[in-house]
Structures are given as structure tokens and as C-alpha cells.
Amino acid sequence: MNIVMMGAQGTGKGTVAGILKGELNIPHISTGDIFRKNIKEGTELGKIATKYADEGKLVPDEVTNAMVKSRINEPDCENGFILDGYPRNIAQAEELDKILEEKGTKLDLVAYLKTPTEEIIERVMARRECPKCKRVYNMVLNKPKNGEICDDCGVELTKRVDDTEEKLKTRLEIFFNETEPVIKYYKEKGIVKEEEISISINRLAPEAAKDLIDSMRK
């Protein structure tokens, strides 16, 4: 089962991916992880990516595509994968089709997780982190036992510097602008399954994951 997972931050994508990974026994591949691995292992692609990052430039599609291709061709992807953070544009989506075609397979499902923007903002703003052990809490969905104190360390939790409402709104806008054409591309292929994740309809990440798994087993 070859899956692409799309969804803005704060939709519960990590939780859904974790459940799918466990149930379907396929790896969860995030582009962030692939980048970090290539850079850490000092691969040729990692070196090129570092060079761009150091110059404050976006890593070109060719580099990202090559990293994804190499990762997808590893043995643990024999029965499929959950790709997260890729493709980000039509050119990458077309490249992914090519990579899979060469492998004699195709994309089975694009899981698109949707949460109302107001709710995303509320959730992300409610996020707290332990400065000592880095455990992440959410004052709405996953509260610590006492006030804003880490259950493990007894240390006062902090907000991440990146989590200001203004920065978040900008990130979300970029995400939706980027995602729209890619979703359209996949809708034309008829492989998109949209999942609403929202407290307002009492439907959270685990229910969405269950629904996706049921739809794949049909």
C-alpha cells in the first residue's frame, strides 16, 4: 500500500501516520527525516542539500526527488510506505509517479487530513514543551497532570518560539497554497480520501486513521 499523507500542522497527522504504520506494517517516511539522515550520513545528496541550506536557499526539486527515490527503493518499502511532506508541487508529484512506475507499482491512496483553521490555531497555541526532556503536551488535547508542569521532570513547560499566531497563519497559508494544486492533481486520478479531523464533530485522529484503514481493506 503506497500512501501519500497530506495535512497542515496541527491536524493530527503524526498520530494518524503512527496508527497506519502499526496497522499496515509499512514505514512512515517524512521528508524532514530523509534530509536529516542524508546530512548526518554525509551522502552526496546530503552535502548538496547542506550547501543550499547554508546559503539560505530552497533545496531544488531534483535533490529532494533523488533522496525520496533512494529511500523508497530501500527494502523496508517492499510492501509500501507512508510518505509525509512530499510531493509539495506538481513537478514532484509527476516525479513520484515516474519513480513508482519504474518500480512497477503506483500510488494507492492520498490521505488528506482536514481541520478547520481556527481549530488548528487553537491546538497549536495550546502546545507546550518541557525544556528539559522535550516532551510535548497540549493544554487542550493532552494536558499534564498538574497545571503546566512536566509529568516526568516537574519542570515548568514552555511555548515554542515558532508557535506565534502570526507565524502559524503564514505557515498555514503557504501550506494551503502549495497543497491545493497537488490535491487537484490526485483528485483527477481519483485516489484522494479526505478525512475531517475536528473536535466540533467529535472526530479525532484515531477515528480518521481507522476509517482510512477500513477503506483500504475493502
Q: With CB under 5 A as the rule, give the number of residues binding Zn ion.
A: 7
Q: Which residue's Cβ lies closest to Zn ion? A: 130
**Is 36 known to be catalytic?**
no
In the set 114, 135, 159, 171, the catalytic residue is: 171
**Is 171 known to be catalytic?**
yes
**Is 88 known to be catalytic?**
yes
> Could you say which residues in the range 153-212 bind Zn ion, by CB under 5 A?
153
Q: Which residue has the cell 545528496?
A: 45
Buried b (16+ CB within 10 A) or exposed e, 38-59: beeeeeebbebbeeeeeeeeeb
Sort 68 into a burial class: Cβ within 10 Å, 0-12 / 13-18 / 19+: buried
Helix (H) / strand (E) containing 111: strand 109-114
> Which CB atom, from 135 or from 203, has the smaller least distance to Zn ion?
135
The binder of Zn ion chosen from 133, 140, 174, 201 (CB under 5 A): 133
The runs of H, that is alpha helices, within 58-204 are 61-72, 90-102, 117-125, 165-188
In the set 88, 103, 114, 143, the catalytic residue is: 88
The binder of Zn ion chosen from 51, 106, 132, 187 (CB under 5 A): 132
Catalog residues that contact Zn ion under the rule CB under 5 A: 130, 132-133, 135, 150, 152-153
Question: Annotated active-site positions, please?
Answer: 13, 88, 127, 160, 171
